[in-house]
Structure formats: structure tokens, C-alpha cells
């Protein structure tokens, strides 16, 4: 959701805000994926109802529109569709790579370090009770381990992206209405893709999370035209900022939080749909949905943000954002390694935590800079590929 400056800039120019926000989220995701440090108290999930995952899915929709809509603007459509689906295949292979390396790190911590703790949670424990079922479930995406379970969602969304782009370009309002209807149906009927071998469904439910992707995609299609999908209105900006501030006060002022929680409990017991009053992540319940949408709109109204995003001081974040998929993969492996080190440390230490977090971020930036320096030049400065968050 761009600010006014987007209307004065070529639609084909790369938007630094996307890269900076994506890079910042990658940093927060890495911090959140090394639980038990003081630094996780500083990430965005502590100041609102949503977290980095919701924001990244929306940014992914924007990026998908900017990167792939041009290839779907003329017939034959197949080359454009094939490009998007090739990316989905890359996400699937990356998911398998990360899943099996996560297994290796978790069980190496037990075999060589003597600690079984990591192997007893986050769905790794079912390798003990049903190893054959897990080995079937991992490649078929029915069994997903904690902290490496976001890429299947992206693969599914990208499979649907060509149709969504074609629909969104011609009927944006109806496309959004259909997406909202699917989100509502998913919550009302508990629709989800099935898990295997465990009962239940995916943690990141594609039927619910698609709404954030579609909002981002429609925003990206508008950006491609040098416009806004949601017009800039002062009253809407005040409403968005008000909701963002309300969420912070709700979480930090315990008296208000208890009172608001009681009000939601009352509404839930008097007929309100459960996903309107809960804070459920799997179904992107209404408070989380409203928060990420309000936050996105509020950020888009910040004066001069586009110019600020291109400042050299933010270059490390921008380079992380430009290399989202490999940086996400590297950050995931580093987070598992850091958790293993913390698990094996004799005495917990803030110095150790600081070293692991700072060292991991430095490695991620260096890795991204290396890839960025050696990437093949493209014909135009466009935002490429979807952002890739992890569980946050």
C-alpha cells in the first residue's frame, strides 16, 4: 500500500520499502526462532496482535504481483504461469532441504550432546512413535515441523497466484470479496488442508492465509499502475493508527487487556463467530487480520518513508530483503544451530544469547551481500519473488 510518492515513481522501479520491511522481518523472525533470549521481547509480536508472518504474507502478495503480472499480461499465458509454478517448486524443494537439516541438527544435539529436549517437541517427537508416517508426511506436506512450516503455505499460494493475478487485474473488488468469503468459510467450517500422520490440519492454513496474500497482490497490481489499491484518506489513516496504538496499549496495560478480553469472551458466548473474538494464528482470526491490515496502511502513510528506505543506513536490511528465500533458509539453519548451542550450554548467559543473535544476523547479512553482489543483472529494477517468512 504505497504512499503518495508511489504515484510519482515509475511502476517498474524497485520499491526499497518492500526490501527494507522484508529484511527487518527476517531479522525479527531469526530472533523469535531462538526462544528464551531477552531479545525476543523486542520484536513486533510483543506490540500488536499479529507478527512478522502476517506481514510477510502480505508483502509476498505485493512482490508476486510486481514480479509475475507482466508475464501474464499477454497470450500465450503458459510461459508466465510456468515461471510462477517454477518458483513454487523451488519453495517445495527448499522446504524439504530445511526439514531434513532441521532433523539432522535436532538429533545431532541428542546423539553427540546428550540432550533430547529439542527432539521431544515441535513435531519432531513423532519420529519416535511413528517414523514411517512422518517419512510419508514430510514430502507430501502432511507433517510439518515447528519453525520450518511456512514454505508449504507459500508454495500453495503461488500455485494459485496466476489465476488470482488474472482475476485481480480485471475484477479487483470481486476478487477481494471472494477471498474474504473463503476466509470466513474457513473459520466457520474449520476448513484446512489435512495433516498426516497426525489428525488436524496445517498450522498455516492456506484457506485463511490466502486473504493476506490477495490483499497484498491487489496492492501490488495497483502499484504496477502507479496507483493505490486503498485510497489515501485522512480519516482512514487516523483509524489505522488508532487501531495500531490500541493494540499496543491492550498488550501493555494489563487492566485494559483484562477488560477487553472479558468483552471478547462475552461476545463469543453471545453468538459471535469464534474467529472474530479469538487470537488464533492458524485461521488468521479477526483481531490479527485487522491489526496487520491497519499496520500496513499506517506504514504506507508515513511521509518520506520511500526516500528513507533508500538511505545507505538501511542498506543491510535492504540486501536481506532482496535475497529473501536464501536468507530465510540460512536464518532457519542458524536458528536451529543456536537453539542447539543454548540447549547444550552449561550455564545460560545473556552474553551467550547476545553472541548467538548478533553472530547470526551478521552471517545472514554477509550471506545476503555475497549473493547480491554475484546475482545476475536483470532488465529492470522490479521487486522479485515473494517474501518468505517463517513461523514467528
Please tell me the predicted confidence (pLDDT) of residue 14: 78
Q: Tell me, what's the pLDDT at 245?
A: 97
- Predicted pLDDT of residue 389: 37
CA 88 from centroid of its chain's CA atoms: 15
335, 30 Cβ separation under 8 angstroms: yes
The dihedral formed by the CA atoms of 252, 238, 66 and 54, expressed in degrees to the nearest 10: 20
> Please, which residues have CB within 8 angstroms of residue 164's CB and are 6 or more apart in sequence?
175, 213, 214, 217
Please give the pLDDT value at position 175.
98
CB 25 within 8 A of CB 243: no
Question: What's the pLDDT score for residue 67?
Answer: 94
Contact 65, 219 (CB under 8 A): yes
Is the CA virtual torsion 86, 87, 91, 93 positive or negative? positive
What pTM was estimated for this model as a whole? 0.90
What per-residue confidence (pLDDT) applies to 377? 60
Amino acid 71: pLDDT: 93
The grid coordinates of residue 152 equal 508449504
In whole angstroms, what is the distance from residue 100 CA to residue 94 CA?
A: 10
Whole-angstrom distance, CA of residue 247 vs CA of residue 380: 39
Below-50 pLDDT ranges, the chain: 1-12, 379-392
Secondary structure, 3-state, the chain: CCCHHHHHCCCCCCCHHHHHHHHHHHHHHHHHCCCCCHHHHHCHHHCCCCCHHHHHHHHHHHHHHHHHCHHHCCCCCHHHHHHHHHHHHHHHHHHHHHHHHHHHHHHHHHHHHCCCHHHHCCCCCHHHHCHHHHHHHCCCCCCCCCCCCCHHHHHHHHHHHHHHHHHHHHCHHHHHHHHHHHHHHHHHHCCCCECCCCCCECCCCHHHHHHHHHHHHHHHHHHHCCCCCCCCCHHHHHHHHHHHHHHHHHHHCHHHHHHHHHHHHHHHCCCCCHHHHCCCCCCCCHHHHHHHHHHHHHHHCCCCHHHHHCCHHHHHHHHHHHCHHHHHHHHHHHHHHHHHHHHHCCCCCHHHHHHHHHHHHHHHHHHHHHHHHCCCCCCCCCCCCCCCCCCC
Cis omega (within 30 of 0) for bond into 76: yes
Amino acid at each position: 500500500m504505497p504512499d503518495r510518492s508511489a504515484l510519482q515513481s515509475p511502476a517498474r522501479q524497485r520499491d526499497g520499502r518492500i526490501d527494507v520491511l522484508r529484511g527487518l522481518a527476517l531479522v525479527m523472525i531469526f530472533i523469535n526462532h531462538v526462544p528464551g533470549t531477552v531479545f525476543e521481547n523486542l520484536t513486533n509480536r510483543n506490540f500488536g496482535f499479529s507478527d512478522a508472518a502476517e506481514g510477510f504474507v502480505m508483502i509476498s502478495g505485493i512482490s508476486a504481483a510486481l514480479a509475475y503480472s507482466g508475464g501474464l499480461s499477454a497470450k500465450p499465458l503458459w510461459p508466465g504461469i510456468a515461471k510462477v509454478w517454477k518458483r513454487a517448486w523451488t519453495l517445495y524443494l527448499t522446504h524439504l532441504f530445511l526439514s531434513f537439516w532441521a532433523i539432522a541438527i535436532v538429533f545431532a544435539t541428542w546423539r553427540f550432546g546428550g540432550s533430547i529436549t529439542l527432539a521431544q517437541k515441535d513435531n519432531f517427537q513423532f519420529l519416535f512413535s511413528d517414523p514411517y508416517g512422518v517419512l510419508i508426511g514430510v514430502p507430501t506436506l502432511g507433517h510439518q515441523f515447528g519453525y520450518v512450516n511456512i514454505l508449504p503455505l507459500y508454495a500453495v499460494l503461488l500455485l494459485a497466484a496466476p489465476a488470482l493475478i488474472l482475476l485481480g487485474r480485471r475484477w479487483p473488488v470481486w476478487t477481494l470479496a471472494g477471498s474474504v468469503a473463503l476466509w470466513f468459510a474457513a473459520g466457520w467450517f474449520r476448513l484446512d488442508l489435512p495433516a498426516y500422520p497426525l489428525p488436524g490440519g496445517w498450522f498455516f492454513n492456506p484457506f485463511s492465509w490466502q486473504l493476506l496474500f490477495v490483499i497484498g497482490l491487489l496492492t501490488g497490481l495497483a502499484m504496477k499502475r502507479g496507483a493505490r489499491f486503498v485510497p489515501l484518506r485522512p480519516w482512514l489513516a487516523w483509524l489505522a493508527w488508532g487501531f495500531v496504538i490500541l493494540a499496543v496499549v491492550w498488550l501493555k496495560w494489563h487492566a485494559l487487556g483484562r477488560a477487553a478480553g472479558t468483552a471478547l469472551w462475552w461476545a463469543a458466548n453471545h453468538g459471535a463467530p469464534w474467529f472474530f473474538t479469538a487470537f488464533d494464528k492458524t485461521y488468521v482470526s479477526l483481531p490479527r487480520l485487522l491489526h496487520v491490515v491497519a499496520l500496513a496502511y499506517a506504514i504506507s502513510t508515513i511521509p518520506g518513508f520511500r526516500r528513507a528506505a533508500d538511505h545507505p543506513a538501511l542498506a543491510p536490511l535492504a540486501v536481506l530483503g532482496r535475497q529473501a528465500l536464501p536468507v530465510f533458509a540460512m536464518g532457519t539453519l542458524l536458528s536451529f544451530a543456536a537453539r542447539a548451542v543454548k540447549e547444550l550450554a552449561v550455564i545460560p548467559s545473556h552474553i551467550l544469547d547476545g553472541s548467538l543473535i548478533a553472530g547470526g544476523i551478521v552471517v545472514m547479512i554477509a550471506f545476503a551481500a555475497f549473493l547480491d553482489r554475484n546475482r545476475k543483472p536483470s532488465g529492470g529494477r522490479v521487486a522479485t519473488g515473494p517474501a518468505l517468512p517463517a513461523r514467528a
